[in-house]
Structure 1
Amino acid sequence: MERIVIGMADCGIAADARSRLVTYALGSCIGLALYDPVAAVGGLLHFMLPDSTQFPGKATENPYKFADTGIPLMLDRLCAQGASKKRLVVYMAGGAQILDSEGVFEIGKRNCLAARRVLWKHGLLLAGEAVGGMDFRTVTLEVATGRFMLDEAGRPRELTPAVRKKGESTWRTVS
């Protein structure tokens, strides 16, 4: 399999079944994976901050740095490769409290909320998430299968949609 590394404030789209998209060391940043099982196309976004309006001009330089500009651009690129918003499976990981031990800025939490807000605006819900906590995470999206693999502090596992219990609104794995 071809490993495509997605750096910080970057996004990768792949339609080749041999591809695996991977991003390393997610702290307060978010790794957002979108996958269309019919078109067999996937994308992985590693964004750093929730809101580009707080940093005028920075989103023009790099829209993938922010949730509010990176997610819509990622969706446009996926749809250009044949994906349909109606079929997208969405996973999210990261949003940890790493450098802010007192929780003053809560960048990780704000990133999670911003991602949910943008996804909701586009009619998308999370199939699974691993957010919060204090551990770094590495995530991998396998394009051939849509598997979303997660490594939290040396504990690898697959994040898959769990069976929903009555009354639950989303599936989630929180550390």
Structure 2
Amino acid sequence: MNNFEFRIILFAFPFIFLCNFISHSQENYRWFGRKYALYVSAGYMNGKRLVSGLEIYPKDSVNREIHVKLEILENWKIVDSAAFDLYLDTSRLEFIAVDDRKYEAIQYRSKDNTVRVNFEKPEKHESILENGMEWVYWSCNYATVNYASTYNRFKKYRKVLKVYYEK
């Protein structure tokens, strides 16, 4: 093996590992697919029924950026809504607490860090259909919405609308 062939091999190794890493990281966050996901939460505040919905739209194919539409209904009438563009934040490990159990979560946050949405870490499910084709889907059952202390707009709903459930 001459010196030129050895240099080509040394150059190709990092590229191969990079391609392998990108393909695995793309697979890890593809649970929203090409459509939207819906999460719902409900509760009572001052004798009125509150229902809130989170519509999640992926903005890219690997779910690194999502668009979230939040609507809050009081006695089935919209009282407030907002929309946010959120970005995947992998800088720390997050958890969601539901019924005294902790679930590992991934976090999306706004650029100014005023809104954060945590989703239960997606689980991959695989099954073989009758025709022999493999069907793969991801499920993510829980979500929480957190607001910065300076963001007062939805602060009053925080204690009532604690956990959102995928629908």
Using structure 2 for the length normalisation, give the TM-score: 0.22
Q: Indicate the structure whose relative CO is greater, using CA pairs within 8 Å and at least 6 residues apart.
A: 1
Q: Which has the higher helix share?
A: 1
Which has more radius of gyration?
2
